[in-house]
Structure 1
């Protein structure tokens, strides 16, 4: 169980680095939204299903920890309480650092009825103060459940504060209990009215429905546009910040001390997002592999310094990538020794390059994620899931041809080049998680 009592921060060897960005005066990301009267509609027809899904994505910015998550809860309840009570289908909502996402689904659903229900998220929140307080208690229980079942999410939120300092993504989506208890209905209504604008949202429709029927239903919300004229998503860019090495100690009464290491790097040149994301996905598979060139092999088996290891890459935009690693040290290995071994293995692997046989083998695994391009139903399902993922992060979803052409963008030289840059300078946060003294000496420059 996390204690959250001790938070020691040391900044080590600061290196000035500015990231290209469109940035508002207060450090917020650039403005998002579409011109009035335009729509963002993404259609995924599926004739072999009797289910109809409608998704709504609302971009937002907030400096208040947990507030967007609270708004999402209240707006969803306000819009769908009758639908849920009558058991007419399935519905849900969630929030992340970029959007509030609402969805509704029904078998043999009528698109007018589904859109007519989910459009309620754009109406003023019609809930009592008593209901809002009860929902706040539910969010507190959600926090405690997540703390137990998925503590990594909590660690990521806490270290975002250091890694993305000065950018809205550093604001915790869920917040801590103190943040949650401070939320109130008037705050929520203000953020809701500022963000829940039909002209700023994106819509996705999936199922056995025609484009004309979907557009007619969306017209109920005042949208006058064709799907082909959907306004482009303007992805906010990360704001400028200095590159530093920051060491954090987070107190935890769990005797199994561990480390979370995160680094965000500005690449030398921009690469189209989908290409960069595919290369990063392949590199992540390689580094996790028990093969020559894999860090899992080096740390868990060759050197026996890590009892467990999780490693992943996250592409932020066309020029910024985050590399993260979470590990528990093997018996007799300290947390600082584990970090030193990881960083040394990362640099050595980048210098020597990924073995060609490893690259060829893992590319075969990587491309199996893609659908059979000759199967229209399978392609539609895949592209729908990908579009939901991209819209949730307020990115422009790719078209089919873009994804089909990614296979030719995975050359070994490109993967090696990405790895070399990730092993170099960047903004790095090292979080030692454990009891007091677990990382003794680690906070010294």
Structure 2
């Protein structure tokens, strides 16, 4: 009798598990992201989240430091002035519920609010696109704020100047070589009229994306959008001429430098190559992620085994592959040599290991492991956490000028990626490009 009891118990457990798995799969496919055009924005993206505390608004303009040729760092200064023009006056309100950013690809502003105050909050947020409303004295004071921000960033990063030097070498005369924060002599000379001109050219609602995340329905959002008033909203630029972001010629730049206030000798390597064609944005991003996961692992073909656990060449390392815009891919590697190992020995071991994998590709076993790990990672995201994950994914894409796709698109893309896709991508990293190396030693 007990035997049948346990059999029924086991069957019940299996049946329950199947139901849960079936429910999980259906929840994955029914997680909603709404994307549509709504004047005057380029597009509006809504990520509903019943469990979110409040509503988060993100207004992203696809213009950053690499989008113009004004004084270096001026886009960041414009962001300060536009944010203060919109939110100025209440320090606590700004500190707790709003902020802004500028990088090479975008300028963005965000605001946290409630459903009850959504209209007011959104009306305030879009006012960052209105003409700047700051007087000359205030603008001069804000230059000092930017100067202090520059000093803070540089002081806290001993390798800052090394990375800036690598930027200039890697991107050449392209605008990605520009500093987002700028340099003190240039910051001190920023003019309000130049800032106003750049603001007018870049803060165009018709080119911006509004990302909304929170416990709000599409109908409620549409009602709020239709009730907003827009102060002289500009039309998008027609056939804009974009500056060149990177130099296209092939080059290699290798140098040894000495840095004070550094704890350990450091090997730095970066390479920029053209990105080949891919089936879809989600597929392309997934191939890159699988390649990165494999290369940084201790699996056969990865860097961790030969560099750390087998030969003890590197005490620690960081490896990253980033798609730059839609045309380029950048490989980044940094490492600290193990005791008694020179930077040159570390450099030789790194290149030998990397070139071997890029040339011969991954083994099926390694690919299956990293693919399975990624599938588990994505599928194990709890349903209540999926909206927040989508928010983070979409925001990253908007911030760095990447095509938009959702967590569900990524889950579907992983299923379709094959070993040959990853190995084909790895071979593109062997191609000629722009190659920068720095052997950084501690000043003793």
TM over 0.5, yes or no? yes
* Alignment partner of 1:209 is 2:212: no
CA offsets per residue over residues 258-288 of structure 1, 9 Å max, x none?
2221111224544433212111112212211
* Alignment partner of 1:40 is 2:43: yes
SS at match of 1:419: helix
Query: Which of 96-105 and 126-135 deviates more?
Result: 126-135
Distance 1:128 1:268, change over 3 A: closer
Distance in 2 separating the partners of 1:179 and 1:58: 24
* Alignment partner of 1:252 is 2:259: yes
SS at match of 2:440: strand
Distance in 1 separating the partners of 2:219 and 2:250: 50
Distance 1:204 1:157, change over 3 A: farther
One of 354, 359, 375 as aligned partner of 1:351: 359
TM-superposed CA distance for 1:398, in Å, is 1.4
Higher relative contact order (CA 8 A, sep 6+): 1
What's 2:299 paired with? Answer: 291
What's 2:58 paired with? Answer: 55
**Equivalent pair of 1:272/1:318 in contact (CA under 8 Å):** no
**Equivalent pair of 1:262/1:324 in contact (CA under 8 Å):** yes
What's 2:122 paired with? Answer: 115
* Alignment partner of 1:322 is 2:315: no
* Alignment partner of 1:184 is 2:191: yes
Distance 1:365 1:399, change over 3 A: closer
CA offsets per residue over residues 312-346 of structure 1, 9 Å max, x none?
00012455321110122234433333222211111
What's 1:407 paired with? Answer: 414
Distance in 2 separating the partners of 1:155 and 1:107: 44
One of 369, 373, 381 as aligned partner of 1:365: 373
Query: Which of 273-282 and 67-76 deviates more?
Result: 273-282
Distance 1:343 1:302, change over 3 A: same
Distance 1:155 1:125, change over 3 A: farther
Distance 1:267 1:49, change over 3 A: closer
Larger CA Rg, structure 1 vs 2: 2
Distance in 2 separating the partners of 1:38 and 1:126: 22
What's 1:266 paired with? Answer: 274
| Residue segments in structure 1 that go unaligned for 5+ positions in a row | 1-33, 224-233, 439-445
TM-superposed CA distance for 1:350, in Å, is 2.6
* Alignment partner of 1:145 is 2:148: no
TM-score by length of 1: 0.78
What's 1:30 paired with? Answer: none
Q: How does 1:1-150 map to 2 (within 5 A)?
A: 37=40, 39-60=42-63, 61-63=67-69, 64-86=71-93, 90-150=97-157
**Equivalent pair of 2:47/2:214 in contact (CA under 8 Å):** yes
**Equivalent pair of 2:115/2:216 in contact (CA under 8 Å):** no
Distance in 1 separating the partners of 2:307 and 2:217: 53
**Equivalent pair of 2:281/2:404 in contact (CA under 8 Å):** no
TM-superposed CA distance for 1:248, in Å, is 4.2
Pairs aligned (count): 394
Query: Which of 361-370 and 197-206 deviates more?
Result: 361-370
One of 391, 416, 426 as aligned partner of 1:419: 426
Distance 1:267 1:43, change over 3 A: closer
* Alignment partner of 1:172 is 2:175: no
SS at match of 2:131: coil
What's 1:378 paired with? Answer: 385
Distance in 2 separating the partners of 1:385 and 1:140: 30
Distance in 1 separating the partners of 2:114 and 2:212: 14
Distance 1:298 1:160, change over 3 A: same
What's 1:302 paired with? Answer: 310
What's 2:14 paired with? Answer: none
Q: Which has the higher helix share?
A: 2
Distance in 1 separating the partners of 2:309 and 2:101: 39
TM-score by length of 2: 0.79
Distance 1:303 1:399, change over 3 A: closer
Distance in 1 separating the partners of 2:91 and 2:377: 34
Distance 1:318 1:86, change over 3 A: closer
**Equivalent pair of 2:41/2:210 in contact (CA under 8 Å):** no
What's 1:22 paired with? Answer: none
TM-superposed CA distance for 1:401, in Å, is 5.1
